[in-house]
Amino acid sequence: MPENDTLRTVGTERGFDVGAAVSAAPLRSDPGYKKTLRREFNTITAENALKMGPLRPSRHTYDFHDADAVVDFGRANDMRVRAHTLVWHNQTPEWFQEWDYTDDQLEAFLRDHVHTVAGRYRDKVDTWDVVNEAVADDGSMRETVWYDAMGEEYLDKAFQWASEVTDADLFYNDYGADGINEKSDAIYDLLERLLDRGVPIDGVGLQMHALHEKPDPESVAENIRRFQDLGLDVEITEMDVAYLPEDDPGDEAARHELQAEFYRDVVEACLETGCDTVVVWGVRDSDSWIPTWFDELTDDPLLFDAGNDPKPAYDAVKEALASD
């Protein structure tokens, strides 16, 4: 592998999608961000711009300014575009109060949202995370405004509504279920029920936020295979790798090597099983959501540092993709 090959070049030659979550603000204002993204990744995910809250500034208004910027950048640069997300219990609009609606009105509200947003990007995005995080950490169905109004059938309806207006692949996406565990068992059972009911679902996204605990790569591979056995595509959709103080070697170079090893192991698990997509949740360490949410974790979870320089994790991913 020539040293000057980019991650994008190696991934594309391998038939593998290497992506990053993208924010519209630095895409407009930061040349280094845009250059790194265009050069190194062949897939992008809209980090926040396609979530309901940012899209709905008022009750009767949709604002697609940021979402269009991300999607248009992907199309202009021959990138696969993952759209995230149509239905989630978080990041709903500030003005949205569920008690203002009857159950039937909530269903109509959600149907309008799915039809409007997914329909706008019918032939511009390749994949939609239709429903995000519908299962609680203990494996039960998460009690959300949508679940309370429609029961588990809200997933059926969301996927059906999306299928009516978009040509994209339709995915279920969740965290904490990367390996075999109680939650991934529950998600497996949920998706099996959806498929038995004829719901048009194409795949499952395993987020892979490897933060407080990290799944065993062999368990990740086993988990991927069982979802594939249901006839579903599997993608790693939101990967980042951070450490608690007790797991941190204490030296930045040593931590980055440890981090690189985990990235390599996950990519190798994907290659072994035929999973062909890994998306990291941000372009550079300085773009990461983790420092805002977790003071106890290390703040360098991605492939590039704040100066747009590649880290050992970048080399590990590239080497894994270039290997026979």
Question: If DSSP states are collapsed to H, E and C, what string results for the chain?
Answer: CCCCCCHHHHHHHHCCEEEEEECHHHHHHCHHHHHHHHHHCCEEEECCCCCHHHHCCECCECCCHHHHHHHHHHHHCCCEEEEEEEECCCCCCCCCCHHHCCHHHHHHHHHHHHHHHHHHCCCCCCEEEEEECCECCCCCECCCHHHHHHCCHHHHHHHHHHHHHCCCEEEEEECCCCCCCHHHHHHHHHHHHHHHCCCCCCEEEECCEECCCCCCHHHHHHHHHHHHHCCCEEEEEEEEECCCHHHCCCCHHHHHHHHHHHHHHHHHHHHHHCCCEEEECCCEHHHCCHHHHCCCCCCCCCCECCCCCECHHHHHHHHHHHCC
Query: Are the C-beta atoms of 199 and 189 separated by less than 8 Å?
Result: no
- Whether the pTM exceeds 0.75: the reply is yes
pLDDT value at position 196? 98
For residue 1, the model assigns a pLDDT of 52
Q: Give the pLDDT score at 3.
A: 60
296 is catalytic: no
Q: Would residue 199 count as lying in a domain?
A: yes
1 within domain boundaries: no
pLDDT value at residue 171: 99
Structure-block tokens of residue 215: 């799944």
> For residue 149, is it within any domain?
yes
Catalytic residue among 40, 107, 235, 238: 238
As for how many domains the chain has, the answer is 1
Tell me whether residue 48 is in a domain: yes
Asked whether residue 291 is assigned to any structural domain, the reply reads yes
List the chain pLDDT tens, one digit each, 324 residues: 556 799 999 999 999 999 999 999 999 999 999 999 999 999 999 999 999 999 999 999 999 999 999 999 999 999 999 999 999 999 999 999 999 999 999 999 999 999 999 999 999 999 999 999 999 999 999 999 999 999 999 999 999 999 999 999 999 999 999 999 999 999 999 999 999 999 999 999 999 999 999 999 999 999 999 999 999 999 999 999 999 999 999 899 999 999 999 999 999 999 999 999 999 999 999 999 999 999 999 999 999 999 999 999 999 999 999 997
Q: What's residue 318's pLDDT?
A: 98
How confident is the model at residue 323, as a pLDDT?
Answer: 92
- Looking up residue 279, the CATH number of its domain turns out to be 3.20.20.80
238 is catalytic: yes
Q: Which of 47, 133, 235, 268 is catalytic?
A: 133
Q: Please report whether residue 2 resides in a domain.
A: no
* Range(s) of the domain holding residue 225: 7-322
Residue 255 lies in a domain: yes
Position 174 in a domain: yes
